[in-house]
A and B are shown apart, each in its own frame.
Chain A
Amino acid sequence: MQYFLQLLISGLAIGAIYGLIAMGFAVIYKSTGLVNFAQGEMTMIVAYIAWTVSTTGSGNILVVSLAAILAAVSLGLVIERVVMRPMLGEPVFATVMVTIGLAVILRSSINFIWDAYPHGLDIGVGRGIVRVGGIGVRTGQIAVIATLLLLLAAIWAFFRYSKTGVAMRAVAADDRTALLMGISATRVHALAWAASSVIAGIGGVFFALSYDLSPAMFQLGLKAFPATILGGLDAVLGSGIGGLLIGLTENFAGGYIGSGMKEVAGFAMIIVVLMIRPFGLFGERDIERV
């Protein structure tokens, strides 16, 4: 039972990180209709910037988080403006390939800007251990689960009530009609990239808090992929919940079957989901079987 609870908590914690990154995928897919294969790399860059800020400055938690959010916003905006916007109107194949190219560039840039060694992001919080019901839980793990739940609520309210949120949903549903209603599609796209970068970046910073920064961190994006497939590529909230489920699956598979299974569990899940419910648990049922 002790072991089960331990797996449950750590599964939820890593699942919350996957969930945040998966929400990043979904935000971009929902408003621009393309899968951003560079999501994991963007996450990694934001986490590295946060680490640089924490080591050069005083390491104040407020300063670091503000700097990380600012960095994430500008990263998203720059990528959208420089790389993605010129591809507007090109076939999906080409735009998706561009994100793949971008992913490779960002991934290898880590080794030139920073270095190939692992680093711990230490801003004085997140590594303390709290005892809950007989098992030790890191404060960082509690914080990331809480953050995911808070963001889920905030994003739900944003899409439901704010004018910008409704505009984003309109562009996602039918960009031409949205354009005729006076919504600027490019602004919505820019906003989506910035938001996606921030949400995923938060996940990356939390990952760096609980674990370590390393150039292999982009694999978080690959791990979060099953989450967004499970939750539904166009379901932002669903992707967050999908992340929790994938984290749990992975941890239980690793804990009870074997450590090799931990790596594959998520990917095996993708194939099962695509066979049974290709639009995901919470996605819209508009899969075309031509």
Chain B
Amino acid sequence: MRTGDYKQSYGELVTLIDSPPVWLWSTVLVLALVVAPYVLNAYALSFLTIILITVVGALGLNILTGYTGLISLGHVGFLLTGAYGYAVLVSKYQLPPLVGFLGAGLVPAAASLIVGAPSLRLKGLYLAITTLAFSFIINTVILEMRWLTNGARGIAVQRPEIFGVSFESDAAFTHLCLATAILTLFATLNIRRSRVGRAFVAIRDNDTAARVMGINLHAYKLLAFVTSAFITGIAGALYGIYLSFVNVEGFPFLLSIEALAILIVGGLGSALGAVLGTVLIVLLPEATRLVFSLFSAQMDAMFTTGAQELKSMLYGLVIILFLRFQPRGLVGVWHDLKRTWVNWPLRY
């Protein structure tokens, strides 16, 4: 009888995937996602694309908030600088899209150095405050630098063509997002199981102990912040391409809250959680709309007029309820389910 899941060596503790069934199901899922764009209709496909882009951003924030335990209220600022980094390089200076994506990562990373260096020396909520300030300052900066960013008019962005492969069609663009999401997922999982990732988690769990073990707190916090900004910037570039237009209006402050809601709902500090949280949060407003429209047409009308407000209310409610009743998030639920499944009918 199987009595549990035992690890016998350190190598087993850090393997990416520890059992053959998980390998199998992950492969099936990826194949299904590759086929999906040809099967789904345009409406469902747009949700899939949004989910994949959001996964990239959520994984980026997860490195900072989930692994290192620092709150950022201004990640929308990095999305925005990433989108502008791409748009300026590719649309304005006609550079190849791959250079654009690199720029989309490097520009926010540079911005995060400026914001992070002074605020990460301190313990506590200071990063939340400075990032909040940053996300407002950056809006003004972009609006003022008209020679580079066209100010409030924004920049139009074409779908890219990389190595002769055109990502013009919706299906192809979804594949691009899928590839980026999978790459990011592997990158964050590998960061988590390396020395750097363990240092991040040590800082989150007990910073004094981490310091005693020889971790340079300032350097590692800054590293987490910069990595997080880099990945978020890539997500911003994808989002800009998806919108086919980059301006300040396209990146409201609500996106920062949405990202935090994703991490809390999914389960902090877990890549799987970030993915599950993204799926739930992206589909939540739509699902709520469907449920309410069953009751009355009036409710449905309310959703179309006050869509943005209802969305924010839902995010706020979900954040509070999950923190109150299921602080471990969807990943916690999943682990409990797994344990019950393995041990049934015994309790443990």
Contact = CB atoms under 8 A, between A and B. Distances in A.
Interface string B241-285: 000000000000010010011001000000000000000000000
B327 interface: yes
A225 B132 CA distance: 10
A97 B319 contact: yes
A249 to B, nearest CB: 14
Interface in A10-60: 35, 37
B130 A270 contact: yes
A229 interface: yes
B323 A268 contact: no
Interface in A86-115: 86-87, 90, 92-94, 96-98, 100-105, 107-109, 111-112
Interface string B144-163: 10000000000000000000
Contacts of A287: 122-123
B136 A271 contact: no
Contacts of A278: 122, 126
Interface string A193-223: 0000000000000000000000000000010
A94 B69 CA distance: 11
Given A100-B73, A104-B313, A260-B144, A271 B123 contact: no
Contacts of A112: 306, 309
Interface in A65-104: 83, 86-87, 90, 92-94, 96-98, 100-104
A150 interface: no
Nearest to A270: B133
B71 interface: yes
Given A260-B143, A275-B118, A101 B315 contact: yes
A290 B217 contact: yes
Given A98-B319, A98-B323, A111-B309, A289 B73 contact: no
B28 interface: no
B320 interface: yes
Contact of A105 (B121, B207, B312): B312
A270 B129 contact: yes
Contacts of A90: 323, 327
Contacts of A87: 323-324
Interface string B99-140: 000000000000000010011011111101110111011001
Interface residues of A, number: 41
Contacts of B309: 108-109, 111-112
A271 B211 contact: no
Contacts of B254: 104
Contacts of A111: 306, 309
A103 B320 contact: no
A287 B129 CA distance: 15
Contacts of B69: 93
B122 to A, nearest CB: 5
Interface in B35-73: 69, 71, 73
Contact of B323 (A97, A103, A260, A289): A97
A107 B136 contact: no
Contact of A35 (B122, B125, B306): B125
A276 B230 CA distance: 28
B187 interface: no
Contacts of A92: 125
B208 interface: yes
A174 interface: no
6 contacts: A97-B260, A104-B254, A104-B315, A264-B136, A268-B137, A290-B217
Given A104-B254, A264-B141, A274-B118, 15 more contacts: A93-B69, A96-B128, A98-B320, A98-B323, A98-B324, A101-B319, A101-B320, A102-B320, A104-B312, A105-B317, A112-B309, A222-B132, A270-B129, A270-B133, A274-B130
Interface of A: 35, 37, 83, 86-87, 90, 92-94, 96-98, 100-105, 107-109, 111-112, 222, 225-226, 229, 260, 263-264, 267-268, 270-271, 274-275, 278, 287-290
